[in-house]
Structure formats: C-alpha cells, structure tokens
Amino acid sequence: MSSDSDYDDDVMNEFDDTMDEDSIMDDSDDYENSLDDSGDELEYYEDGEDLNFDGVMAEKHRKKLYQVDYTVQSSKHLMGSQDKEVGQVASILGMPKEHAATLLRHYRWNKEKLIERYMDNPEKVLRLAGVVTDKVRRIIPAREISTPQHPFSCDICCDDEEELETVAVSCNHRFCRTCYEHYLRQKIREEGESRKIECPQDGCKIVVDEKTVEEVVDKNTHLRYRELLNRTFVDDNDHLRWCPAPNCEFAVECHIPSTSLTTIVPTVECECSHQFCFGCGLPDHQPAICPLVKKWQKKCEDDSETANWISAHTKECPKCHSTIEKNGGCNHMTCRKCKYEFCWVCMGPWSEHGTSWYNCNRYDEKSSHEARDSQTQSRASLERYLHYYNRFANHQQSAKLDQDLYRKTEKKMEEMQQTSDLSWIEVQFLKKAVDTLTQCRMTLKWTYAFAFYLSRTNETVIFEDNQKDLEMATEHLSELLEKPLEREKIAELRQNVLDKTVYVKQRREILLEDTAKGLLEGRWTFFVDLK
C-alpha cells in the first residue's frame, strides 16, 4: 500500500470509476473475469501499460517518484499467467501447448529470445529444450496397449504381460504405465523436480511434457507438480519475485530491470502487507539503493564487534551517571533518579533539541577535524562509521521497541472506546499512527546508510535538512504515542496524533521524493563503486 493513503484508506476506492475505460479494456480477457469472480481484491498502482498479465484497478493518484508499478499475484494468477504465455507462443509457433510450455521453461520465459531462436533454427531449439530428437517430428501415440502382434516388455519392471498399457514421449522410449507413473512420482514428490523431468531412458534428454505428466500421475502428485512449476516460473522470471514473508504464497510482478537498481529503489507491498524491495528481496530500504544496502550490511557484519560493543554499551545518565535502560522507542530520555532530560542518540540535553534540533543527524565536520588532529586516520574513519552506525542501529532498535507500542496501543484503543464516545473505527487513528511511526523509523534507519556513502556536496545539505526534519517529527510522534492516556484529553490527543501523523508522513514523502529525484538526475555522488 502506498505511503500516502491516509486514514481514509479503509474507504479507499477499490474501483475508481473515473479510471479511463481503455486501461480496463486493453487487458481484459476471460482470465480477468475469473479473477473478478474469485473475489480477490488486489490493488494496483497507475494504469496498466506495463502490466502484462492482469486487469488493473488503479488507485487514482499521481505516482510518486519513489514508487514503482507492480502487481501482486496469487498462485492462481501465476497459473493463469503461464497458460496465457504458453497459449500465445503455441499459436505463434503452431505447436501443441505442452511443447510450447517446455520451450518457454527452457528459455526461462524469455518469449522474445525463444521466438527469435526458433525462427532461426527450429530443429536446434527443439532439440536443446528436449522437445524432440528427430529432425522430422513423428506422431507418436503417448499411450498404447500391447497386443500379441505387438508384444512389449518393460525395461524397468521386466513385465511382459499382454494388454500392458504403455507410455512414451516423443523419443518413443516406451515403458509400462505403472513404471512411468512411479518414475514421475519419485521425481516430483521426492526430488521436487518439475520443469525438466527427462525420459527414464538412460542418456535421453527429452523432457516429459506437462500433458503426459497430467495424464499419468495421480491428482495429488499433479497438484504438487503444478506447485513446483509455479515456483520455477517465479524463480526463472526476472519480472517476478516471491514475497519473502514467512508462509506467504504471493508473488510480485514488477518490470524494473536490474540495471536500474542504481537509480531507483523498487519498494513493493504484498497482499500480506509485507513491504519489501523487489530488487533484492530485503525489507523496504528506501531511500538507500540496493548496492549501498549490500555494502552497508557487509560493512556492519565486518565491523560487528566494534558495533556490538557500542550498541551494547550501557548508557548512563550524563548528569548523575545512574544506568539507564531504554524502554520505549522514543529518544527523549528522562533519568528516573535526577530527572535530567537528554537525547538518547547524542546524549546532549533535550532542551537544545526542542528549539533547534541538535546536530544529531549530521556528522559534524568540525569535530571530525578535531578527531583527525588527535587520532590517526583509521580511527577517524571508524568514528565516522560509528557515527552513522549508531544512528542506524538506534532506529532499528527503536522500531523493535515499537512492537511493544503496538500492544500498548491496542489497550489504549480499548480504553478509549470504553471511556469516550469514539467508535472502533474512530480509534483506528492510533494504530495507523504506530504504523506510520514504524515506517518512518525504517526510512530514517536507511537514510544513515545512504548518508554514510554520500559524498558531501552543496546538494547534500538539503538531504540532511530533510533527514533532520523527519527525525524530529518522528520523535515527536513517538513521544506522543508513549504518553499515558488522560481520559479528559482524548479529543485533544486524537487531533494532535492525527495532525502529527499527517505531518510525519509528509516529511517522509518529501525526503523520499527528493532522494529519488536526485538518484534519477544523478545529483548524488557516492564514494563507493556501485557495481
């Protein structure tokens, strides 16, 4: 779901009647109707120009620069998509569907490449993909019954009874049906094979086609076979990726090529609501691009000993030195003992943060100079890293603590319904606010990895200001949500939370829009090789 669908996304139009009719008509076919019948609710961005497979129900709004087009596909959709592609290729090349399927799977669903190669040298393509061996395509009955005139002995079980039912694919290596079934079941159920099950004959490269499999195996094995085919369909297809959430069975289709990953972060959201990067499969890491994320994670791993020490290091109240444990996501700390208020990140007094947000987000060039004077270069570079790492890790940890906040918030929502005249739907704003908070923390976290690799130019000042604004807004919202509920002030709180949530979302959008624009324009320079 997009970030800017506000509180009203409960009532978001599932079908916008202002959507232009063409985009529906273009892609409509029988398959889509079956989609509608099933009652599946899928949300899509934009119009359907790039979407190969499905009908489109667009949420009508201007697409943000940091958003990409994609569709979510259920396993039923995936099967429909395959059937559609297979049907198309079968009619273009004038061959049975089961052979078109074998060819497409061999060419990893790259239809253009397949057709081009096929036009060039059909025999070679058919042989390489394991469809037929002979130059001349013979018609071979897939199933036969042995007769006294045509006796048969199965090379697998040595059975030679009369009226034995036999099976063969285009190579005509014939075996009894029982053995064929056993062989296929072994391959599918035990070995998990699907798209390239070869004929049982030793050295024969002919692939047992989908039609033969369907005719020979039992229903459950066939279901498993279809499942495995679906899996390879997604794995082999550059435009598809499984949702990495545990037990989630949806896949996402997105047409961002891997070559664009240096200029765009293709964040997608699954039906299960998990947000992840289509480029690398990791949880959403806007605004940092995939290659930076990879480098950053590697660096954190390599430096984990230092980093662990830092993050595990117990913090003390800067004033009275009593040990302080962070028990919420908010960075505004108040020492229980001496009531001193300070910022968890920089340990500076909180009072300075209230008016002008401390240089908490920015690695101060001056102090870095001092560090260089007194320390060696390598020490300075470690400190520079730790500066960004601490802020990265801090948001990560805060986001984890925000999981507790969800539980607390649920209680608050119940309490609110009991003590005020607000309905269930009217107290949802609190949960939405926590959603927003968590999302902003993730974004903030990755802004520090982004900033770590960013070469400092005049342009980066805008980025740092945006980061600072988002950070401050996020902390304000966090603080507001951590506060205990005061019954008489519920209406006031509601308005306050609503306002702050809108504001935080806006700040996030501004930051992401600007970084995405900068990436597309080549405005950012990173001091690492992005290859």
**Annotated catalytic sites, by residue?**
330
171 binds Zn ion (CB under 5 A): yes
Q: What residue ranges in 213-358 does DSSP mark as E strands?
A: 240-242, 251-253, 267-269, 275-277, 315-316, 323-324, 332-334, 341-343
Binding mask 202-241 for Zn ion (x = CB under 5 A): --x-x-----------------------------------
**Closest by Cα among 110, 120, 58, 74 to 89:** 110
- Name the burial class of residue 530, with classes exposed (0-12), middle (13-18) and buried (19+) by CB atoms within 10 angstroms of its CB: middle
Which of 25, 119, 145, 157 touches Zn ion (CB under 5 A)? 157
Q: Among 103-111, 135-143, 198-206, 374-382, which window interacts with another protein (CB under 8 A)?
A: 198-206
Please report whether residue 157 would count as binding another protein according to CB under 8 A. yes
Interaction of residue 420 with another protein, rule CB under 8 A = no
Interactions with another protein, residue window 201-260 (CB under 8 A) = 201-202
Cis peptide bond prior to 349, omega within 30° of 0: no
CA atoms within a 13 Å half-sphere pointing along the CA-CB vector of 202: 2
74 touching another protein, by CB under 8 A = no
Closest CB to another protein among residues 123, 155: 155
Based on the shown chain and the rule CB under 8 A, indicate whether residue 179 belongs to the binding site for another protein: yes
Q: Which does 277 bind (CB under 5 to 8 A by kind): Zn ion, another protein, none?
A: Zn ion
- From the list Zn ion, another protein, none, pick the one residue 510 interacts with, judged by a Cβ distance below 5 to 8 Å according to partner type: none
Residue 143, beta-bridge partner list: 167
Among 1, 42, 115, 156, binds another protein (CB under 8 A): 156
Could you tell me if residue 130 is left (phi over 0), alpha (psi between -120 and 50 degrees) or otherwise beta? left
Instruction: Pick from 178, 232, 306, 359 the residue near another protein by CB under 8 A.
Output: 178
Which one, 210 or 475, has the nearer CB to Zn ion? Answer: 210
Nearer to another protein, 181 or 475 (CB): 181
242: which strand partners?
251
Euclidean distance between CA atoms 393 and 523, whole angstroms: 27
63 binds, among Zn ion, another protein, none (CB under 5 to 8 A by kind): none
Q: Which residue in this structure is represented by tokens 């920089």?
A: 346
- Minimum distance, C-beta of residue 168 to another protein, in the bound complex (Å): 13
Residue 186 binding partner per list another protein, Zn ion, none, with a CB distance cut-off of 5 to 8 Å that depends on partner kind: another protein
State which residue, 39 or 203, has the beta carbon closest to another protein: 203
- Applying the rule CB under 5 A, the residues between 265 and 324 that interact with Zn ion are 270, 272, 274, 277, 279-280, 290
# binding residues, another protein (CB under 8 A): 13
Does 111 engage in binding with another protein (CB under 8 A)? Answer: no
Show the DSSP H helices in 255-342 as ranges: 290-302, 304-312
Q: Is 200 in the site for another protein (CB under 8 A)?
A: yes
Check if the beta carbon of residue 272 is closer than 8 Å to that of residue 528. Answer: no
Q: Rule CB under 5 A: is residue 201 a binding residue for Zn ion? A: yes
Our CB check for Zn ion shows the closer of 68 and 125 to be: 68
Q: Does 312 contact another protein by CB under 8 A?
A: no
| Cβ atoms of residues 514 and 66 within 8 Å | no
**Of 270 and 493, which has the nearer Cβ to Zn ion?**
270
Q: Round to whole Å and give the CA distance between 112 and 92.
A: 11
Strands 44-45 and 58-59, bridge-based pairing = parallel
From the list another protein, Zn ion, none, pick the one residue 202 interacts with, judged by a Cβ distance below 5 to 8 Å according to partner type.
another protein
* Distance of alpha carbon 179 from alpha carbon 253, whole angstroms: 39
Q: Give the 3-state secondary structure of residue 290.
A: helix
Give residue 203's region: left, alpha or beta (phi > 0; psi -120 to 50).
Answer: left
Selected from 31, 53, 152, 183, the binder of another protein by CB under 8 A is 183
Alpha carbon 53 to chain centroid, angstroms:
19
Report the half-sphere exposure of 524 (CA within 13 A, side-chain side).
28
Q: Which residues contact 403 (CB under 8 A, 6 or more apart)?
A: none
Q: Give yes or no for a contact between 55 and 80, defined as CB atoms under 8 angstroms apart.
A: no
72 binds, among another protein, Zn ion, none (CB under 5 to 8 A by kind): none
Nearer to Zn ion, 206 or 430 (CB): 206
Choose the one of Zn ion, another protein, none that binds residue 413, judging by a C-beta under 5 to 8 angstroms depending on kind.
none
- Per-position DSSP letters for 386-438, written without gaps between them: HHHHHHHHHHHHHHHHHHHHHHHHHHHHHHHHHHSS--HHHHHHHHHHHHHHH
The number of C-alpha atoms within 13 Å of 441 and in the hemisphere containing its C-beta is: 24
| Half-sphere exposure in the Cβ direction for 386 (13 Å, CA) | 17
Instruction: Name the one range near another protein by CB under 8 A: 154-162, 224-232, 335-343, 344-352.
Output: 154-162
Q: Which is nearer to another protein, 26 or 155 (CB)?
A: 155
Minimum CB distance to another protein, residue 224 (Å): 17
Choose the one of Zn ion, another protein, none that binds residue 183, judging by a C-beta under 5 to 8 angstroms depending on kind: another protein
Neighbours of 413 (CB within 10 A): 19
Residues found near another protein in the complex (CB under 8 A): 155-159, 178-179, 182-183, 186, 200-202
Residues found near Zn ion in the complex (CB under 5 A): 154, 156-157, 171, 173, 176, 179, 199, 201, 204, 206, 243, 245, 248, 250, 270, 272, 274, 277, 279-280, 290
